Amino acid sequence: MIRDQETMQILLDSIRSFVNEALIPREEEVAETDEIPEDIVSQMRDMGLFGLTIPEEFGGLGVTMEEEVNIAFELGRTSPAFRSFIGTNNGIGSIGILLDGTEEQKATYLPKLASGEILSSFCLTEPDSGSDAASLRTTAVRDGDHYLINGTKRYITNAPHAGIFTVMARTDPEIKGAKGISAFIVEATTPGITIGKCDKKMGQKGAHTADVIFDNVRVPSSALIGENEGVGFKTAMKVLDKGRLHIAAIAVGAAERVLEDSLRYAMERKQFGRPISDFQLIQAMLADSKAEIYAARCMVLDAARRRDDGLSVSTEASCAKMFATEMCSRVADRGVQIHGGAGYVSDYAVERFYRDVRLFRLYEGTTQIQQVIISRNMIREAQQ
């Protein structure tokens, strides 16, 4: 449930204006420079965007899941790179600390994340461990009241900017699967950490990912999240469950933007003496996109409300992530088609969105992994 409709509407209106007036006009600049301008980062800090999901007691806005997806619908309407910059502090980089951290860990790090003083990154993926995250090889070996961390993490969002990393590492080499994994908060200045070169990506210029290499990185035992060994994989999965709804909502917002742009273009562009929006084959593409966006929006909102009601949404979050992100790619593809040749050259945003949104189907669990989760949950329920 939205807690206070009026306050929420004011926040949503201010985010919509910020997206329309400050972010959309700067998209090209971000795509060309591969950087988020410092004045935009500072405005995002002032608006509290780094701490949307962090509870008020730690300096954030403490939004509910329903509120968060409504905000994500708005933020999704511009280049995903802007969202990515604040995304890890609100999602994968902070939720592990929030859900499973000790009171001291929360008090130390959450206020800095909420204010945007530091950025956080989530280090799960490795060169040989992606979808099969439980097979990760990074180790954290106990050494008195410290741990020594060794390993390489891959494609880590915001790694070049991060002040802290949430690192999943194997504390018990005897246990090969999920149960041998623990989660740590590692400060980026700790000796032994190297950040690799920024990855050259297909899209989302301005959002940076890189390898993070841990070479005998010594952290105190108080860096273990919840000071509890062997539950780090569970923490990571809880983080991703929530993250999936957020990505699904961002995909809805991006699809809405592409459709807005496509409709405008279809009404302006004339062929055969008429606007192309007069042609029923163009109308069919517009209508299919509209209906699919509506379906995805309803799914995301329903799953978010269920989560706020305390229900388990593993299946619904995966359904929403799978449907919304696949839908977004179809809408972007139709968007390019509606723009004709203009959709293939970079004069129109649709060309950039077509590349940018492709990522949504890959990270925080590929579409195939969502299918695996959904069907596994169905079979488990049927067996009970």
Ligand X SMILES: Cc1cc2nc3c(=O)[nH]c(=O)nc-3n(C[C@H](O)[C@H](O)[C@H](O)COP(=O)(O)OP(=O)(O)OC[C@H]3O[C@@H](n4cnc5c(N)ncnc54)[C@H](O)[C@@H]3O)c2cc1C
Q: How far apart are CA 265 and CA 239, in angstroms?
A: 39
| Count of residues near ligand X by CB under 6 A | 20
348 binds ligand X (CB under 6 A): no
Interatomic CA distance for residues 81 and 26, integer angstroms? 11
Question: By CB under 6 A, is residue 70 in contact with ligand X?
Answer: no
Residue 139, beta-bridge partner list: 150, 170
Task: State the DSSP string of 97-113.
Answer: HHHH--HHHHHHHHHHH
Instruction: Tell which residue, 135, 202, 199, has the closest CA to residue 173.
Output: 135
Which residue's CB is nearer to ligand X, number 299 or number 359? Answer: 359
Stretch of residues binding ligand X (CB under 6 A), selected from 98-106, 188-196, 264-272, 359-367: 359-367
CB of 29 to ligand X, least distance (A): 20
Q: Which of 122, 265, 354, 360 binds ligand X (CB under 6 A)?
A: 122
Alpha carbon distance, N-terminus to C-terminus of the chain: 31
In angstroms, give the least distance from the CB of 192 to ligand X: 19
Number of neighbours of residue 194 by Cβ within 10 angstroms: 12
The active-site residue out of 68, 229, 256, 364 is 364
Which region, judged by CB under 6 A, interacts with ligand X, from 102-110, 138-146, 255-263, 363-371? Answer: 363-371
**364 given a catalytic annotation:** yes
User: DSSP 3-state helix, strand, coil percentages of the chain (rounded to 5)?
Assistant: 60, 15, 25
The CA distance from 230 to 233, in Å, is: 8
Identify residue 336 by its one-letter amino acid code. Answer: V
- Cβ proximity of 1 and 305 under 8 Å: yes
Residue 152 in contact with ligand X, rule: CB under 6 A: no
Gap between the Cα atoms of 66 and 61, Å rounded: 13
* 124 binding ligand X? (CB under 6 A): yes
Query: Minimal CB distance to ligand X: which residue?
Result: 130
Closest CA to 79 of 208, 247, 254: 254
Identify which range of 70-78, 117-125, 180-188, 309-317 contacts ligand X by CB under 6 A: 117-125
Chosen residue from 70, 94, 125, 182 binding ligand X by CB under 6 A: 125
Residue 69 or 369 having the CB closest to ligand X: 369
Beta-bridge partner residues of 186: 165
How many beta carbons lie within 10 A of that of residue 127, not counting itself? 12
**Other Cβ atoms closer than 10 A to 287:** 11
Can you name the residues that pair with 214 across neighbouring β-strands?
151, 193
Residue 182 touches ligand X, criterion: CB under 6 A: no
Least separation in angstroms between CB 90 and ligand X: 13
| Span from 58-66, 115-123, 271-279, 304-312 in contact with ligand X (CB under 6 A) | 115-123
Q: Mask: binding to ligand X, 153-172, rule CB under 6 A, as x and -? A: --xxx---------------
Instruction: Using CB under 6 A, pick the residue from 306, 355, 363, 377 that binds ligand X.
Output: 363
Whichever of 70 and 329 has its CB closer to ligand X, that residue is 329
Contacts of 66 (CB under 8 A, 6+ apart): 1, 2, 301, 304, 305, 308
Structure letter (DSSP) for residue 358:
G
Mask for 189-218, x = binds ligand X (CB under 6 A): ------------x-------x---------
For ligand X, which stretch binds (CB under 6 A), given 33-41, 118-126, 266-274, 285-293? 118-126
Q: Is 245 in the site for ligand X (CB under 6 A)?
A: no
Q: Which of 7, 17, 131, 194 binds ligand X (CB under 6 A)?
A: 131
Question: How distant is the alpha carbon of residue 332 from its chain centre?
Answer: 19
Instruction: For residue 115, report the phi and psi dihedrals to the nearest 5 degrees.
Output: -80, -15
**Taking CB under 6 A as the rule, does residue 362 contact ligand X?**
yes
Query: Of the candidates 40, 54, 72, 123, which one interacts with ligand X according to CB under 6 A?
Result: 123
How far, in Å, CA of 49 to CA of 225, rounded? 25
Q: Which stretch binds ligand X (CB under 6 A): 2-10, 152-160, 221-229, 255-263?
A: 152-160
Residues with a catalytic annotation lie at 364
Q: Footprint of ligand X on this chain (CB under 6 A)? A: 121-125, 130-131, 155-157, 201, 209, 359, 362-364, 366, 368-369, 372
